[in-house]
Structure 1
């Protein structure tokens, strides 16, 4: 059994290759049971969540695989100078059940989350989009920018964070890969002019308001994955052609699910899922322009596809 740490995954995965792989995965036969989500109670401690995300290839797969990601989300880890999300991915042979590899779950999540975001953008955003606003400065931010650059001709990339120094740090990180970006403190001003707005934060109240969005904007909501988290208001949903990565985004994630629960939005207004986009069952970028919105909470088939890509690259398979 092989170990894929962060460096090994970085060496095995790339954009736009992984974006294309996810496109194929969403059109393939993959079984992905409902994500397990468990609250961990620790008296006197901040809340924590355990997530389990299994998936396996369907019976028609030439090379069958099984995979499971286990993640812990400890909201108080910042006080310990530790990441809030930690985990691992186990990849197994789908024909025998034999374990093949254990992979850094955090790094795999960064790669596949950004790839899914860019995949949705490839279908939904203006093909000529050049101005991107990245809202958030966590580990995911550079990956999101890199993935979106692989599908759109971005020439102006702005980074916003609650702490300006954190936004500057993302700018420095991107510069290491030859990507020019700039930090901004004007969230509303940038949001009003951006072609693509990606949000990956732990916000519990809307950061982006629908009336800020220009007519042809694409809003990409990634961070809010619980019913206590929210990055955009209901007005943004009402103004947009809304696509979700899966039904979970309607039932248990932030943003869309919260708006539905409070009665300010209706589930039947959601156009469909990312799989629907990839299959061509629903439309993408509106003809003649229009606001689009993608809400993701994470899909297990994305992890499986990324893990298989890393494994087959690493083994020459």
Structure 2
């Protein structure tokens, strides 16, 4: 069995390449049960979360003779880790042979997640953001946000990036990192003002209080919500949901786990039927993407095991010893 570190994954993948890999994966499909989501209760501090995300090649659809793969990601989310200078999200990805079940590779889970999450958002933006979108607002300054900025820049002509975070120093750190990569990036302090500036807004936080206000969005904006992965988390308010054409990565996951979808449905602001499309339907041209230059679009991502599987296979195929 091969072992791939975060650096190995960085060597194996590119943002344009993985966006196209995910486009193909969503078009062709895979078997992906809704992820297992377990609360690990703690006597002191904040509870942790254990996530198990399995997926495997759809052998029935592929036909006889297909080999394929099985994959599972095991992740823990421990918010209190930030207090001891450790990442909140840690985990591993295990890739197996699709026929024999033999382990093929063990990979750094957080890095694979950062790549596939960012590229899923970029895939959605390739359908939903205006083709001339050049102004990107990043809400949040964690490790995922750096990947989100780079991925969006791979599918749209991003000329300027602004970063907002509750802790201004963290926003400046991320902006400096993006400047080192050649982007024109600055840290900003007035979130409401920046919402009206941006062509694309990408949010990667664990906020339970809405940060993206619909009243502040300009015509033609695209909103990309990534951070909230439980029904209690929320990054956009009801007004943003009501004003936008809403899209999701998977209907089953978003309507069960995403606070930005679950809460508006419960409040009667949104209905499940009003969700225009998921990534499967967009990739297969079954449902409409952006319809006009002025409409507001909103994409909610909670993560799909198919994304991990496709990214894991891409890493494995790139780095495995050549015969």
State if a TM-score over 0.5 links the two structures. Answer: yes
Rounded Cα–Cα distance in structure 2 between residues aligned with 1:129 and 1:29: 29
CA distance in structure 2 between the partners assigned to 1:68 and 1:146 by the alignment: 26
* Partner residue in 2 for 1:261: 266
Once the 2 structures are TM-superposed, how far is the Cα of residue 252 of structure 1 from its aligned partner? 1.7
Per-residue deviation at 1:63? 4.0
Residue of structure 2 in register with 1:275 after alignment = 280
**Distance apart, 1:175 and its partner CA:** 2.4
Distance across 2 between alignment mates of 1:63 and 1:126: 39
The structure where helix makes up a greater share of residues is: 2
Structure 1: gaps of 5 or more residues:
none
State the distance in 1 between where 2:168 and 2:292 align.
37
- 2:273 and 2:76 map into 1 onto residues whose CA distance is 32
Tell me if the contact between 2:220 and 2:293 (Cα under 8 Å) persists in the aligned partners.
Answer: no
Would you say the 8 A contact 2:209–2:235 is kept in 1? yes
Report Cα offsets for 1:144-168 as digits up to 9, x if no partner: 1110111000111111111111011
TM-score when scaled to structure 1?
0.97
Higher mean displacement: 200-209 or 171-180: 171-180
Q: Distance in 1 between matches of 2:6 and 2:192?
A: 35
Cα deviation digits, residues 290-313 of structure 1 (max 9, x gap) = 100000000000000000000000
- Corresponding position: 1:130 with 2:134: yes
Aligned partner of 1:72 in structure 2 is 76
Cα separation, 1, equivalents of 2:293 and 2:138: 25
Secondary structure at the residue paired with 2:15? Answer: coil
Secondary structure of the 2:259 match is coil
Please state whether the residue corresponding to 1:31 is helix, strand or coil: coil
Shift in Å, 1:256: 1.1
Displacement of 1:15: 1.2
Report the Cα distance in structure 2 between the residues aligned to 1:58 and 1:235, rounded to whole angstroms: 39
Per-residue CA deviation, residues 156-187 of structure 1 (Å, 9 max, x unaligned), is 11111111110110112112322221111111
Displacement, 1:276?
0.8
Q: Using the alignment, how far apart are the partners of 1:176 and 1:238 within structure 2?
A: 38
Choose 177-186 or 99-108, whichever is displaced more.
177-186
2:315 pairs with 1:305: no
Which residue of structure 2 lines up, in the alignment, with residue 249 of structure 1? 254
Out of 171, 181, 188, the residue aligned to residue 184 of structure 1 is: 188
Partner of 1:126, secondary structure, is: coil
- Kept in 1, the 8 Å contact 2:159–2:183? The answer is no
Separation in structure 1 between the aligned mates of residue 109 and residue 101 of structure 2, nearest angstrom: 20
Q: Which TM-score applies when normalising by structure 2? A: 0.95
In 1: Cα distance, 2:15 partner to 2:138 partner: 18
Partner residue, 2:292:
287
Which segment drifts farther, 252-261 or 154-163? 252-261
1:95 is paired with a residue whose SS is coil
Question: In the aligned structure 2, how far is the partner of 1:175 from the partner of 1:308?
Answer: 31
Give the secondary structure class of the aligned counterpart of 1:150.
helix
Deviations 1:96-145 (A, max 9, x none): 11101100000000000000000000000000001110000000111111
* Equivalent residue, structure 2, for 1:113: 117
When the two chains are superposed, the root-mean-square deviation of aligned CA atoms in Å is: 1.2
Question: Residue 45 of structure 2 corresponds to which residue in structure 1?
Answer: 45
Q: Secondary structure at the match of 1:203?
A: coil
What is the aligned counterpart of 2:94 among 71, 90, 110? Answer: 90
Residue 288 of structure 1 and its aligned partner are, at CA, apart by 4.3
User: Which segments of 5 or more consecutive residues in structure 2 lack a partner in the other structure?
Assistant: none
